[in-house]
Chain A
């Protein structure tokens, strides 16, 4: 990191990792709410509503349930939040200075992306609330469901580019050979698989199985309030922005062009449309969906990549 000076590093983590991602993420949740409202023939909130929500939550008192594991209960929101900041820092640094990316940062990013889900599980489990515990169990099952397919999809890119496993290297490869998405059928399949996994990773309908308002009140979030809930909301919003940007880095050359906004908007609209026209899956249905057809699809993708298509 000091190759670019300590100040650069702080600039990245504060500006790209945190401030920019928070603003973009909260705006994305506004787009989500507005578009959903229009689909449902409502007016929808003004653009600053998500910001107002977070600021208001920060001013509210935090309530800790009786008999909960206080330390774990308060640390859990932190865990996911920290991980998302790190992911967006690494992804943006790779995009702006491809040379600054380190070997295997792709693996680091994949591992860090586990953490928001773990944070949710620890939260639900530590709150002592039965709805929280049920939500935690569902979240873990869901993560196992989509993770295998997502891993195969991400490694399709690695197989296709001949074993380059750093984000900077993948961007460099794409700068020479064109976007990964245009490299053949295997990459298109892999991209489709990531699109299918994304709502599950983000916990959005039809895969909001862990929160499931109509069944579990709010799942792991049930006992959260005040600033702790605000941090969870921020984490979710940042993930809504960071995850598509990470996928675009892998599949669509670079995120540092005007096209990015269009690409990102397309993915966001896709997620919103899927959310508004589908009911929620049951956890066993989601498991079957991801472990049979989606995993099969991603396996097909990586086999095609291995034979050079």
Chain B
């Protein structure tokens, strides 16, 4: 194994992406197959990197002067992350084959997937801030381009708005990140990630911390930099949502945030408190918004914001177990949230809509999708013994170990947030898979195999990382925070840290008892009968089997209870109603303030006259400045 493998993990997908542009539209199987094969190859490379010891690749050794900053370094943190980045790239390209079928701009879609995988690997492996920022920027550009592809049901204006908002919020955050890195460079005198480590004293260090933190939490989507995710969800295909905001952006944002806390700075009390408050507010506010959503994608996207709260909260505790919990939660979130978006995509493909009021009763016809959905939904709600429970539990443990008695507020907020998460997934479960089928939806089929496979893989990962949580903890996360978690078989014991495996054995025995009671009863003679609705026969039923029944009460034709009305009681409660009205009017959206706060943008708008020559000249000026800077460093 030599360290040039690191280059392959980064540049193989990027170069393949460039080649993929050249594949003509007519042979689309080649383009799709090529993307899947390349991402799979990247996954194999990433696994090899993960299995080898720490590796360092320095361009300076090559004697190739212009790119002497392009240093790569793989260690336990970055190498397990690139493995998952590549895995998500592979699963999404597989899923997109059928899901994106017949949509426009596919010629760009697949290259963007490859480009994003390469850039994300690059950002995770970079050991120098300059290439790191470069790759970070490429991911943003890819996100912008992905958003412009747009979903079928969104108008072009809406798609443009969403893409614009991504660029504004994340671009602004990236600017903050660049400034923060500049400060950090000034203070430490080094641009090498693995060398920087400074105490958090003085205004400059604190500004650097806050600026880099803004860059990280905007990428991950914590409040107040969250509003791009729900907006994007309304106008993007589910596969894009599953790929970027749900998984890759979380991995990158939380990776950077953990690096700040673990390596670059030594966390102090006030910054720790700041992070914990951001985390707690994000958890509660976002999940309250999620509960009242009517669009499946938008609902999921608010959860993608809410769950970041747990990660930020865990990192904010500053305790090893809390940070380990946050990193584990990041991984788990990427798994279950992309699984949820993929199930939403399958529902959209088969039923033609993601409006919760127009769906229902699909579980019988889409059993795989339903089971994957429920496993992921129980995971995100933190129900034992699934993976979400283990990582949330570790975050709670971190809060308790952080010491101060006043931190109970964070603990209760985090736990209540789980209950609210559960509530909103109950609503989705009822509206989409259980409940009653609306007449507009005919007989639908289960999703195709290539769409089923990614969902099933992710759902199985949810279960495995829950029941055998020691596996990721020992091999992925333990080394990052310097905790040696008890491995098997010592992990199977009652005492000590919550042992997921013994908890599961307990669960199985309890299930067996329930099963015996079931068998003792006369369950095998179960028969089916029409619904009992106050003794009245329902009229024209909503499923086909019932449509022959003679109706006595025509008023009872539609007996569907809409899941979207589940929480109207909460929505309309005094006090909360005003907050909700404001939330829907985007009063908590940093973007809507940005428009008014920066009148300077009116001046800058004049520069954007749409003439290519002007833009090229701006690029030229930028390059000249970059060269001067690089020359002065060198």
Contact = CB atoms under 8 A, between A and B. Distances in A.
Interface of A: 1-4, 9-10, 13-14, 17-18, 57-67, 69-72, 74, 77-78, 81-83, 85-86, 89, 99-100, 102-105, 107-108, 110-112, 114-115, 118, 121-122, 125-131, 133-134, 136-137, 140-141, 143-144, 147-148, 151-152, 155, 158-159, 162-163, 165, 217, 222-223, 226-228, 230-231, 234, 283-284, 287-288, 291, 302, 305-306
A227 B518 contact: yes
B534 A1 contact: no
A98 B412 CA distance: 25
25 contacts: A1-B494, A9-B506, A13-B506, A18-B510, A58-B521, A62-B521, A66-B543, A67-B437, A67-B531, A72-B433, A81-B514, A82-B511, A102-B494, A102-B497, A103-B496, A108-B498, A111-B384, A125-B435, A126-B434, A137-B567, A140-B566, A141-B566, A143-B419, A158-B400, A231-B517
B434 A306 contact: no
Contact of B426 (A112, A115, A118): A118
B314 interface: no
A57 B521 CA distance: 8
Nearest to A57: B521
Interface size class of B (residues with CB under 8 A): 35 or more
B435 A133 contact: yes
A11 B175 CA distance: 62
A3 B419 contact: no
Contact of B570 (A57, A108, A141, A163): A141
Contact of A108 (B493, B503, B542): B503
A2 B495 CA distance: 9
B415 interface: yes
B405 A159 contact: yes
Interface string B191-210: 00000000000000000000
Interface string B551-577: 000000001110101110110110000
Interface stretch (B9-17, B132-140, B361-369): B361-369
B82 to A, nearest CB: 32
6 nearest A-B residue pairs (beta carbon): A227-B521, A133-B561, A58-B521, A125-B434, A85-B510, A125-B430
Nearest to A152: B412
A230 B521 contact: yes
Contact of B363 (A72, A121, A151): A72
Contact of B419 (A58, A100, A114, A230): A114
A283 B532 contact: no
A159 B561 CA distance: 42
B526 A63 contact: yes
A49 B238 CA distance: 54
Given A58-B521, A58-B522, A165 B400 contact: yes
B379 to A, nearest CB: 12
A28 to B, nearest CB: 19
Given A2-B493, A66-B528, A128-B361, A86 B510 contact: yes
Given A59-B522, A288-B573, A102 B495 contact: yes
A231 B521 CA distance: 10
Contacts of B411: 155
B346 to A, nearest CB: 17
B208 to A, nearest CB: 33
Contacts of B492: 1-2
A231 B498 contact: no
A136 to B, nearest CB: 7
Nearest to A85: B510
Contact of B397 (A58, A103, A159): A103
B265 interface: no
A277 to B, nearest CB: 26
B513 A65 contact: no
Contacts of A60: 521-522
B400 A82 contact: no
Contacts of A86: 506-507, 510
Given A13-B509, A60-B521, A159-B408, 4 more contacts: A1-B493, A60-B522, A136-B566, A141-B570
B382 interface: yes
Given A2-B492, A61-B522, A128-B435, A103 B498 contact: yes
A93 to B, nearest CB: 8
B565 A137 contact: yes
A107 B408 CA distance: 13
A228 B522 CA distance: 10
Contacts of B507: 82, 86
Interface in B394-410: 396-397, 400, 403, 405-406, 408
B65 interface: no
B366 to A, nearest CB: 11
Contacts of B518: 78, 227, 231
A223 B559 CA distance: 15
B577 to A, nearest CB: 12
B1 interface: no
Contacts of B116: none
B514 A69 contact: no
B416 interface: yes
B292 to A, nearest CB: 13
Contacts of A141: 566-567, 569-570
B178 interface: no
Interface in B337-363: 361, 363
B529 interface: yes
Contacts of B521: 57-60, 62, 226-227, 230
Nearest to B381: A114
B436 interface: yes
Contacts of B563: 133, 137
B441 interface: no
B543 A67 contact: yes
B237 to A, nearest CB: 28
Interface string B436-468: 110000000000000000000000000000000
Contact of B522 (A128, A133, A227): A227
A223 B523 contact: no
B522 A147 contact: no
Contacts of A147: 416, 419
Given A69-B364, A128-B361, A283 B522 contact: no
B423 A143 contact: yes
A290 to B, nearest CB: 11
A137 B515 CA distance: 28
A288 B493 CA distance: 44
A62 B525 contact: yes
B569 A230 contact: no
Contacts of A89: 506, 510
Nearest to B415: A151
A128 B525 contact: no
Contacts of B494: 1-4, 100, 102
Nearest to B416: A148
B383 interface: yes
Interface in B558-610: 559-561, 563, 565-567, 569-570, 572-573
B532 A61 contact: no
Given A230-B517, A287-B569, A291-B573, A67 B541 contact: yes
A222 B520 contact: no
B435 A61 contact: no
A47 B389 CA distance: 41
Contacts of A115: 383
A89 B510 CA distance: 10
Given A59-B521, A104-B396, A122 B569 contact: no
Given A82-B511, A144-B419, A107 B393 contact: yes
Most A C-beta atoms less than 10 A away, residue of B393, B396, B400: B400
B505 interface: yes
B630 to A, nearest CB: 52
Contact of A104 (B397, B403, B511, B543): B397
Contacts of A217: 532, 534
A305 B407 CA distance: 12
Contacts of B510: 13, 17-18, 81-83, 85-86, 89
